[in-house]
Chain A
Amino acid sequence: EAQVTQNPRYLITVTGKKLTVTCSQNMNHEYMSWYRQDPGLGLRQIYYSMNVEVTDKGDVPEGYKVSRKEKRNFPLILESPSPNQTSLYFCASTPVGEDEQFFGPGTRLTVL
């Protein structure tokens, strides 16, 4: 089944404890992206990647890192999480030349 998977789906952590949210897609898509969704603010892009080893900042990159060592994986790293990073996170992918983005199921993160 073609899909985007994220892990974990739910995470409660404490300020300053490094964490990684994994994202994987099995559709051989070149473009991958991370968004966060907050009440009243809609979805905002954090980082994106056009292909392996090519990443760039979105609208709200502060406090986040990403890597793209393999085409299928695009992990989101929070080196020192803070409470303002409590949010619902979505990973998405799309093939180059196409418009539709396929979203993962979301990761609900709470930072205490």
Chain B
Amino acid sequence: RKEVEQDPGPFNVPEGATVAFNCTYSNSASQSFFWYRQDCRKEPKLLMSVYSSGNEDGRFTAQLNRASQYISLLIRDSKLSDSATYLCVVRDSGYALNFGKGTSLLVTP
């Protein structure tokens, strides 16, 4: 089975901090890469896609290194509302998604 590995955390950070999550994947033929956000007991929701050129959406920056099979997510100026579990997700061929087990983030006042 193709693996997606991420540090489960939890990451406890104060408001305003910068926090980085990392993820590695085992299938070098993987085609698409994402970060999903999941709030407690709720459905996962797409946070952002990840591209080799790197991409930014407000306080969130995602990077992909295909050579190292490594994906990262950087959150700047953390807000209380950023507290959630962040899922690293990889799509191989077809439409099936391979999920990491998630990294838990808690932002404290």
Q: How many residues does chain B have at the interface if contact means C-beta atoms less than 8 Å apart?
A: 19
Report if B97 contacts A (CB, 8 A): yes
Most chain B CB inside 10 Å of its own CB: which residue of A31, A43, A58, A106: A43
Residues 72-112 of A, flagged 1 when their CB comes within 8 A of B and 0 if not, give: 00000000000000001010001010011101111010000
B46 at the interface (CB under 8 A from A): yes
A interface with B by C-beta (< 8 Å): 31, 33, 35, 40-45, 48, 50, 58-59, 88, 90, 94, 96, 99-101, 103-106, 108
Contact partners of A58 in chain B: CB under 8 A = 96
Q: Which of A40, A50, A59, A105 contacts B1 (CB 8 A)?
A: A59
The number of inter-chain residue pairs (CB within 8 angstroms) is 48
Tell me which residues across on chain A come within 8 A of B87, comparing CB atoms: 42-43
Closest to A48 in B: B96
B96 contacts A33, C-beta separation under 8 Å: yes
A42 touches B102 (CB 8 A): yes
Which residue in chain B gives the minimum CB-CB distance to A103?
Answer: B43
